[in-house]
Amino acid sequence: MRVIVIGAGLAGLSTACHLVGSGHEVTVVERQDGPGGRGIRRTQDGFAFDTGPTVLTMPGLLADAAAAAGSRLADLIHLERLDPAYRAVYADGSEIRVRHGIEAMRDEIAATCGPDDASAFPRFAEWLRRLHDVEMPHFIDAQFDSPLDLLRSPVAAATLTRLGGFRRLGPVIRSWFRDERLHRLFSFQALYAGLPPDRALALYAVITYMDSIEGVWFPAGGMGQVPAALAAAAERGGAELRYDTSVRRLIRDANGAAAGVELDSAERLRAEAVVCTLDPPTAYRLLLPELRPPRAVRGGRYSPSAVVWHVGARGEPGPGIGHHNIHFGTEWSSAFRALVDDGRLMPSPSRLVTVPTLSEPQLAPAGHSVLYVLEPVPNLTGTVDWRREREPMRERLAIFLAQNGYPTDVVTEHLVTPLDWARDGMHLGTPFALSHTFGQTGPFRPSNLERRVPGLVFAGSGTVPGVGVPIVLISGKLAAARVRAYLPDATPPPRRTVRAPL
């Protein structure tokens, strides 16, 4: 059975890998000139900028996708654990490093925050593990057809309730630790869910588990090697990947079912099913203009956005700077209120600076550095005029870098604002899609099925289960399962493992 996947980002490539392994004939069409989607690699003036996520966790999900297509992940990509995973810097000049391993992190907390918080950390880590173990199989890596599906695992739901998963994340973290710096360190991940920590459900501490307990990884060659590896696995499994190929419209048969796509070139690709990884509002506007989008798509609350400044600079960072550096501002709750409620820039913002050349110097010329600087900002429903604010933002980021020991002799750069995200098809200029409020999670999030168009399936951060590298990999797996249920007659190929040549 032939399936077309629109988009060669991580969700689309995961879908392709899982489908070729079950015997489907898969064609992936991608408008850009290579794999990666939002994380495609940009090269300029001898520097390589990986434009998407910089933090890689849960590599087992990558391995699962590669294995589904008949490849071993280790034959496609080499991953190194980052230890420390993060260097956290506070406004008072103090620092905490997120170390891998319970004992190492307990020692770090003892040295920076004192014995009481250190003694709490092993129990906190165990609580995070238990949250993960109940959430992953029952509420993340799971299909939902209606809210009633929440009741299909009553023991898991009861366990999640008993663990405090439906309390608010901020207060729960404060109940574990006394030091306010730890409150920030173990709750900032709520921003990935598009919410302030004091409003996010504690169940989103599962993100904290992924990076602070399971660990953060980095691939040899940079983050661009992640989609490259999945693309290689999909092609070795038999998928066709067509780059520089844009879809003009969805083809439907006489019964209204998905029957393929028409390209901008007017070429028609026929298929029995189509998987779309576009942001759902964009997908409905471009491919399904005759359909009224689901309520969750047209009226949902969307996450804040981010400005990302990609910098190629002469020189190297000062001593002590890590691969991932989180600089917390003086403000916390008021900063989130400004960002989320008022649609304003954060006062005294917190920022992420990733320096991938500390782990992979070949991303820049010798003696130079690549910097990835991210500041959370409102999406396009906010009050910021990005045509006027673009250059002042760049100037503030340059001053911030200089004040914190980063090289600032800029050779080349690329600044991305919400206007740029919007031009790339991301609704309201945010790459983080719908926020993860309870009413936009699980069965309440836009479904990965469009039941009015049989054979059309969605994958990516705008559908279930949500946002983040591990999560969109799962979304591809779930989308593939939907296709297999719709087209059950495909014959799986003989199982074999393809190894890379020596």
Residue 15 confidence (pLDDT) above 90: yes
Q: What is the mean pLDDT of residues 197-221?
A: 96
d(CA 136, CA 209): 12
Please give the pLDDT value at position 502.
28
Q: Which residue has the higher pLDDT, 193 or 284?
A: 284
DSSP annotation of 434 reads: B
Residue 444 confidence (pLDDT) above 60: yes
d(CA 326, CA 132): 24
**Are 131 and 122 a contacting pair, CB within 8 Å?**
no
Residue 494 confidence (pLDDT) above 90: no
Tell me how far apart the terminal alpha carbons of the chain are, to the nearest angstrom.
34
Confidence of residue 493 (pLDDT cuts 50, 70, 90): low
Q: What is the mean pLDDT of residues 151-164?
A: 95
Q: What is the mean pLDDT of residues 197-213?
A: 96
Q: Which residue has the higher pLDDT, 406 or 502?
A: 406
Model confidence over 29-44: pLDDT tens digits? 999 999 999 889 999 9
Residue 416 confidence (pLDDT) above 80: yes
For the domain spanning 2-40+58-73+222-300+434-486, the CATH number is 3.50.50.60
Using only the alpha carbons of the chain, give its radius of gyration. Answer: 22
d(CA 169, CA 164): 9
b/e per residue, 210-225, with b = 16+ CB within 10 A? bbbbbbbbbbebbbbb
Q: What is the mean pLDDT of residues 441-457?
A: 96
Please give the pLDDT value at position 434.
96
Please give the pLDDT value at position 489.
75
Mean per-residue pLDDT over the chain, rounded: 96
Please give the pLDDT value at position 151.
87
Residue 378 confidence (pLDDT) above 50: yes
Please give the pLDDT value at position 500.
38
Q: What is the mean pLDDT of residues 297-316?
A: 96
d(CA 472, CA 461): 6
